[in-house]
Structure 1
Amino acid sequence: MDFIERLFGWSPDDGSGLFEFLLFAIPIGGLLYLGWRKRQARQARRNRKD
């Protein structure tokens, strides 16, 4: 996972791959969080109708 180094010629994480990992992990985590919040809101609406 060193595509940043290959594309831009600089290493923000000294070659450890952490930066590239975070480029994928943060958006995926954000999508999971948004999905969880949407599910919570849907359940709250159902509970109010009952």
Structure 2
Amino acid sequence: MDLLTQLLLGIGAFSLIVVVGSFIGIMMVVVEDTIEEHQQARERDKMNRE
């Protein structure tokens, strides 16, 4: 493999890692927000019942 091919392959691998990492990070934030919303809804239901 020549230098250009290795460079392009490295850039491609790095960009793939960045994209996958960003996707995982966004999904973690969404899941945390969803869990927090469910907990707040439960607390509101408890307050309404009392």
Identity of matched residues, %:
10
TM-score of the pair, normalised by structure 1: 0.62
TM-score of the pair, normalised by structure 2: 0.62
Bigger-Rg structure (1/2): 2
Give the number of the structure with larger relative contact order, counting CA–CA contacts within 8 Å between residues 6 or more apart: 1
User: RMSD value over aligned CA atoms?
Assistant: 2.5
1:19 — aligned with what? 14
**Higher helix proportion:** 2
- Specify every segment of 5 or more residues in structure 2 that has no aligned partner in the other structure, as ranges: 46-50
Structure 1 segments of 4 or more deviating over 2 A? Answer: 15-18
